[in-house]
Amino acid sequence: MPVMFLFVKGYIFNTEDHGEVLLPIYKLMSPELYSNDYFVAEYIKNSFTIRFYYDYLLYFSSFLVPLEIACFLFTIISIGISSFYIYSITELLKGKNISLFLSPILVLVIFYSFTIGGNFIQYNYFLPSSLSKAFLIAGIYYYLKQSLSKSAIITGIAALFHPLAALQVFIIICLMQIIKKFYTRTSFKPLLKFILFFTLISSFIYIPLYINSLSQTQYPFNLDNYYNILYNFRLPHHFNPLLFSLKSYFKFIILLTISIYALSTIKTKFLSEITLFIIIIALGMLFYTITFSTLSIKYIGITQWFKTSIWITMFCAIILAVKAELIYHKISQRIRLFRMNQNAVMLLIFIIPFILISFIFNIIGNENFNKRYYINNLYKKENIHLMHYWISKNTDVNDVFITFPSDFSFQPEAKRALISGYKAILIHNKTFIPKWYDSYKSVFNTPMSSINSTNVLIQSDLNYHKYLIINQYSQKYKINYILFDASKTDYKPKTKNIAFQAGQYILEKI
C-alpha cells in the first residue's frame, strides 16, 4: 500500500512544510547553519517545542542513515502502519477478502481528499502528523476492540508527535465512553484507566508545552491581533469554516450520506460505536462553526476541530469497502462468472503494488517522474533546485537572502538564512506571530487590509517581483543576495551583479 500511495500522490522532500519542520534538524546536524535566520533564531530560544520528539527522532536517525533516507523510510512506515490498521478495522466490521484489500485503497487513495479544512489522513512526505495519525488509527482500532489500555498507550504516543490530533481523538473516545456508560450503567473504571494511561504518556509533551507557554505571557502581545493574523491571513484554510472550499463540503457530505445509508444495511456489532463517533465529530464541527464564525469566539479556533473530518472520511471509506463486498457477493450468487473469478479479483488487488513498483522503475529518468518523486538522487533536479544547491556550495554560510514567498524549498536545500518567509513560522507562539507578520508585510508589501485572505501567497509573490524594479530590498534590508524569477518581473540586474543563473531564476549579489 505505501508504494501505491506514493505512486499516486508522488513523494517530496525538502519542500512544502519541510521548509519549516526540517530547519531545526539541519541546525542540530550543523550548528553553523541559519545563524542569521529570523525563524531558526526564535525556534532555538526554546529548549522544548511542539516538535521536540520529531526533531530528535530524525536527528538521531541521521547518525544511521542520511536524513533524506530517514524521512523516506518513516513515510513508508507511517503509511504502512495506517494501512495495516485500516485493514484491521475493516476486519472488525466483518470485512472479508475483497473489502480487506479495498479499504486501505479507498481511505488512502480514492477518498483521500474527501475531507474539510485542508486536512488529510497521511502525506506524501514525512511530517510529525504522519507518524501521529498512523498511531491514532491504531488507537481507534484498539478502542473498537475494547482494549482501552492499549488504545490509551498508543494514543498517548501519538500525542508526542502531534499533540492536537491526539487530544481530539482522546476527547472523542472519552465522550463516547461517558455516553455509553450512562446507557449501559456499567463501571467507569475502564474509562478512568484510559484517561490515566493517556495522561501518563502524553504528559511528556503537554507539561513541557504548558511550561513553555507560560514564558510567552511574560512578553506583551495583543491576543486579538494574534488570532486575526492566524485565522484570516496565514492559515484561514485550516481555521475559518466560512473560507473552506464549497467543493470540499460537497464531497464530504455526499460521501457521508452514502456511507450512513450503507452502514444501516451492514450487520455489525460496531454500528453504535461508529455512529456515535461520527455524531460527536459532526456536532463538534457545528459547534465550532457557530462559535467561531457566528459568535466570533475566536479562542475556539485553537481546537481546529475540522481536523477530525479525516476520521469520518476513514470510517466512510471502510463502510463502503464492506458494502462493496456485500454487493459483489449478492451479484456473484446470481451470475456464475463473478463467483468463478473471485480469486482472480483478489489476486489482482494483491499484486497491484508490485505492478506499480515495476512501472516506477521503468519510468525513472522520465520528465514526469522527475517532477513527482524526490527520491535520493534518482530524479533530475529542476532549475530552482539547481539554484539552491549552487547557493549551498558557493556562498558563505552566514549570508542572508531574500527570495519569493512560494520558494518553499529554499531554506532546506540552500541552507541559508532568510529575512522573512511564508512557511517558516511558529504558529503556536503568540509573541512570534505578530513579529513575523510585521516583517512579512514589510518585506513582501502584503498588509492584511490589501488582500483577499485566501490568496496571500499569490499576492505576495506578485508584489515581490513587482517591487524588485525600484530596488527597494537592497536599500531597506541587510541582505547579501536576491533570488527571483525573471519571467515574472521586468527587473534587469546589472550583468556584473549576477552571481548565478539557472533557467529563469537569477541570483543577484548585493
> What sign does the dihedral 43-49-54-56 (CA atoms) show?
positive
Give residue-wise pLDDT tens across range 42-91: 888 877 889 999 999 999 999 999 999 999 999 999 999 999 999 999 99
Lowest mean pLDDT among 57-61, 126-130, 238-242, 360-364: 360-364
CA distances from 310 to 61, 111, 121, 159, 279 (A): 29, 10, 6, 17, 14
Backbone angles phi, psi at 400, to 5 degrees: -115, 140
Give residue-wise pLDDT tens across range 169-227: 999 999 999 998 887 777 788 899 999 999 999 999 999 988 887 766 555 668 888 88
C-alpha cell, 208 = 513541557
Lowest mean pLDDT among 137-146, 230-239, 340-349: 340-349
C-alpha cell, 45 = 530560544
SS3 35: coil
Give residue-wise pLDDT tens across range 288-330: 999 999 998 988 999 999 999 999 999 999 999 999 888 877 7
Place of cell 534538524: 25
How far apart are alpha carbons 141 and 150 in whole angstroms?
10
Domain boundaries, the chain: 381-507
Rounded average pLDDT over 89-115: 88
Q: What is the pTM of this model?
A: 0.90
Q: What share of the chain is helix, strand, coil (3-state, %, to 5)?
A: 65, 5, 30
The mean pLDDT of the chain is: 87
CB 6 within 8 A of CB 124: yes
